[in-house]
Amino acid sequence: MVKSYPVEIRWRVVFLRNDNYSIKEIARTLRVGQTFVKKILSLYHTTLGVEYEAHHKGRPRIIKGQDNVLIRTLVDKYPEIYLDELRDWMHHITGKEYTITTLHRFLRKSGLTVKKMHVIARQRNELLRSSYRRLVSDFHQHQFLFIDESAKDDRTFQRKFGMCLKGCRLANHGNFTRGKRFSVLAAMAATGVQVAHSIIGSYDMSQFEFAFENFVLPLIGSFAKNEECSVLVLDNCTIHYSEKVIQMVREKGGLMVFLPLVLASHILPSNLYTTCTLQRL
């Protein structure tokens, strides 16, 4: 294609040629190449113009119009849909047959990629969550003490990803059996981990009560006096709703705050849930 010179220069080539200038004189006068002059004159004799017509590159789009909107609507509503399922839905709705390759290319050009999907529980109660956020916003940072358990076994520290050449399968020897299990109970405040207690196996209510009474309870301050570690935050594990633990926290002047339940009636007895609700308020 001719070098992108201004339109005025291109028309000047034609005008000078009409004034009986030679190609060499036109090139010297306008300070352009003789090849450029020849191409402009040839273009003018062919099209009576000095600019090439714009043309679209590539093949025409297969998916367009309402099908474009329909595919985006299906993907927005069902982000977990497979390409073969999307193809079947398009055939069922529109009667058109699209290949999986065409659908994949269209989704990629639309900026859509495959990502790990975050699943949100249908039972989540947004009213309880907003009430919980409003509740904890009334406390000060130094008052919080977060308590939770964690566990590990022989499979915990096995890495799932590694480096390998393209086209090669990466494998490594690892444990498929759980092996010995260790559990730890930790209490964390704004300044870091305050105390931790570990056992072999998993915590039950009696072991949780023992660890709480001997390791966590000495840290708890008085909520009325605005002391540190006076607001205990726990999840809804059943062992956390121990009457003995609740009574010990009350005697120390602390306050227990539980995370909002998903389905309280399916997890705890109604009388215990009422006691914890009163304790939170």
Chain Cα centroid distance, residue 165: 27
pLDDT confidence of residue 264: 40
DSSP string, 203-254: --HHHHHHHIIIIIGGG---TTTT-TT-EEEE---GGGG-HHHHHHHHHHT-
CB 87 within 8 A of CB 43: no
In this structure, the dihedral spanned by the alpha carbons of residues 202, 206, 209 and 213, taken in order and rounded to 10 degrees, is: -110
Residue 271: closest CA among 254, 251, 246:
246
Q: Report the alpha-carbon distance of residue 186 to residue 151 in Å, rounded.
A: 11
CB 134 within 8 A of CB 220: no
Q: Report the alpha-carbon distance of residue 100 to residue 106 in Å, rounded.
A: 10
pTM value is: 0.55
**What are the tens digits of pLDDT across the range 49-107?**
888 776 656 677 788 888 888 999 999 999 989 999 999 999 999 999 999 999 999 99
> Does pLDDT of 16 surpass 60?
yes
List the beta bridge partners of residue 149.
185
Segment among 42-56, 231-245, 266-280 with least mean pLDDT = 266-280
In this structure, the dihedral spanned by the alpha carbons of residues 235, 240, 245 and 250, taken in order and rounded to 10 degrees, is: 30
pLDDT bin (cut points 50, 70, 90) of residue 262 is low
The phi-psi region of residue 117 (left if phi > 0; otherwise alpha if psi is between -120 and 50; otherwise beta) is beta
Q: Which of 3-7, 40-44, 105-109, 183-187 is most confident?
A: 183-187
Helix or strand or coil: residue 192? strand
DSSP string, 124-135: --HHHHHHHHHH
Average pLDDT over residues 244-269: 74
Structure tokens at 83: 């390409």
DSSP letter, residue 123 = T
